[in-house]
Amino acid sequence: MQDGGAIIRRKSNPGATHMPDAGESSGVLERKLATILSADVAGYSRLMGEDEEQTLKTFRGHKKVFESLVAMHRGRIFNTAGDAILAEFSSAVEAVRCATDIQAALRTRNDQLAPSRQVRFRIGINLGDVMVQGGDLMGDGVNVAARLQTAAEPGGICISGSVHDQIRNKLSLSFQSHGEQNFKNIQQPVRTFSIVEAEGHGALPIPKPGSAGNTPAKWIAAGLLFLLLAGGSYWAYTAMERKKAENVRAIAAAAPPELPAPTSAPPATATPETAKASVEKSGAEQPVRTANAARAADGPEAGTAAAPRPSGAHAPSRPSAVAAAAPAAAAPALSAGPFDGVYSGQICYGKTTDEPTRCYRAEGTIRGQKITGQWVVAPKAGITMYLAGDVATSGDVKIGMHSEKPDGTLLAVIDLKGTLHDDLIEARGSFRRGRPVTLNWRKNSSASR
């Protein structure tokens, strides 16, 4: 026995049976306060059902970016299961910074994929007391983070009130409050917030009002509405049946007794069966034309990169031959924007104490309100730079760039803001570590409308 640093040895008693202390029979339960980040892929079962190999390849690339950013923000991934990832942070500020960086980096990667093939994470963050078991963490602190994740939109972030209280005056973020939400198997209601916008990353998807969590009031209202609809339907049905019976009696009373009712309908040129077959035929053709038109609309995506992707990268399929098989239905044109075209020019990294100024030429494509691009920055190492951003109708431009290795390891992240006017994009920003970056691109004359 140890007391105050002094070891007390018990003398053995040969005639007594030794009863082990609680600490000898089981390990001491350790608890601590931690910020837990829970992430899960939205629609993972559907993605795997449609294309297992491509989904797994995309998920592994996303996961490497995820892991790199967790390590960059001094976090630790303590559990993974399938498409779910759990990480702990000692700081709520770092956990939220990490989450916004993850969603921005993965949005850039997803912009290179067809919308139906994008692998998007939901993220929930909670600050709470947890139990430590080896390298794993358990308890309500972890469970609440997992429930908050289910309330987030794909590509979005939900946080608890305990996290919000820690970060609201420390980070440049916008929030939307969902009030106190009741989650499955969580005894106490949880104050819930969505991150609406993160500086440098743009807007994030948020749940529709009243859709976060499961509130008893919502289910009560749904039950009352069901009862009202059911009662109204039954009343309408009985009224209709009474009206039918009255009409039958009136017709029977008005019919002459010497004229029996006909036993069969008179023949007609177009029978009900042929009319039904004609309707079914015309109705069957419509989905084919609609499906072909929809596939034709999936042609050049708004997020198509200006340069070819590296070998092994996923490119959206362009089934133009299928669309051509239905000339009767014209494919809807892609939505055009006032700035559509290919832009190219210089990107310059500013001078630092260790690096000189460096400039190189690159290009991107604007389609609608999106700008995308990619290029190889280090051919020998196979390092690729990816660019994606938003272009407002006012000409304001927000651009995110990141470079990564062929295995998906994230190397650098750049955020830029600027304007587009007179066919010229001028944007300024920096690397996450502070090195300044400028971008000056002009619209190619060959791409002008």
Q: How many domains does the chain have?
A: 2
Q: pLDDT tens digits, residue range 138-189?
A: 999 999 999 999 999 999 999 999 999 999 889 989 999 999 999 998 999 9
Residue that is last in its domain, among 163, 187, 216: 216
Residue 292 has pLDDT above 90, yes or no: no
Spatial separation of the C-alpha atoms in residues 204 and 196, rounded to whole Å? 5
Does the residue 396 lie in any domain?
Answer: yes
| pLDDT band, very low/low/confident/very high, at 219 (cuts 50, 70, 90) | low
10-14, 162-166, 336-340, 394-398: least confidently modelled range = 10-14
379 pLDDT tier (thresholds 50, 70, 90): confident
Is 326 within the bounds of a domain?
A: yes
Which residue has better confidence, 323 or 115?
A: 115
- Shared-domain flag, residues 411 and 308: yes
Asked if residue 278 belongs to a domain, the reply is no
What's the average model confidence in pLDDT over 397-402? 93
Which H helix or E strand runs over 160? strand 157-160
Statement to judge: residues 175 and 302 lie in one domain: no
What DSSP designation does 111 have?
Answer: T
Residues 57, 142 within the same domain:
yes
Are 131 and 40 found together in one domain?
A: yes
In this structure, are residues 126 and 191 in contact, taking their beta carbons and an 8 Å threshold? no
Q: Is residue 392 part of a domain?
A: yes
* pLDDT of the residue at 324: 37
What was the pLDDT predicted at 406?
A: 87
Who has greater pLDDT, 255 or 180? Answer: 180
With respect to residue 417, please indicate whether it lies within any of the assigned structural domains: yes
Q: Up-side HSE of residue 18: CA atoms within 13 Å toward CB? A: 9
pTM (predicted TM-score): 0.49
Residue 254 forms part of a structural domain = no
Do both 39 and 162 map to the same domain? yes
Are both 211 and 335 inside the same structural domain?
A: no
Do 212 and 305 have their domain in common?
no
Better-predicted residue by pLDDT, 26 or 386: 386
Q: What's the pLDDT score for residue 281?
A: 43
Range with lowest mean pLDDT among 89-98, 302-311, 345-354, 384-393: 302-311
The answer to whether the beta carbons of residues 173 and 387 sit under 8 Å apart is no
Q: Per the domain annotation, does 274 fall within a domain?
A: no
| Domain housing 98 | 30-216
If you average pLDDT over every residue of the chain, what do you get? 77
State the pLDDT at residue 355: 85
Among 194, 213, 180, 167, smallest CA distance to 103 is for 194
- Residue 222 confidence (pLDDT) above 70: no
Contact call for residues 386 and 374 (beta carbons, < 8 A): yes
Extended strands (E) in 305-381:
341-349, 358-367, 370-378
Give the mean model confidence (pLDDT) for residues 330-336: 51
Q: What pLDDT does residue 234 have?
A: 66
- List phi, psi (to 5°) of 178: -110, 10
- Cβ atoms < 10 Å from Cβ of 34: 25
Whichever domain contains 110, its CATH number is: 3.30.70.1230
pLDDT for 202 equals 83
At residue 377, the pLDDT reads: 86
111 and 208, same domain (yes or no): yes
Confidence of residue 343 (pLDDT cuts 50, 70, 90): very high
Q: Dig out the tokens for 295 from the structure.
A: 């596939």
Once rounded to an integer, what is the mean pLDDT over residues 243-254? 62
Query: What mean pLDDT is predicted for residues 59-78?
Result: 96
- Rounded CA-CA distance 108/115 in Å is 13
The answer to whether residue 255 sits within a structural domain is no
Which has the closest alpha carbon to 389: 368, 361, 359, 358?
368
Per-residue confidence (pLDDT) for residue 372, from 0 to 100? 94
Answer yes or no: is pLDDT of 260 > 70: no
**How much is the average pLDDT of 89-101?**
96
Do 48 and 136 reside in the same domain of the chain?
yes
Whether 175 and 310 map to the same domain: the answer is no
What does the pLDDT look like over 295-319, one tens digit per residue?
333 333 333 333 444 444 444 443 4
Among 199, 216, 233, the domain-final residue is 216
Which of 216, 231, 262 terminates a domain? The answer is 216
- Which pLDDT score is estimated for 70? 97
Residues 157 and 35 in one domain: yes
CATH number of the domain enclosing 303: 2.40.128.380
**Residue 246: pLDDT band with limits 50, 70, 90:** low
202 and 105 fall within a common domain: yes
Lowest-pLDDT choice from 39-53, 236-250, 276-290, 387-401: 276-290
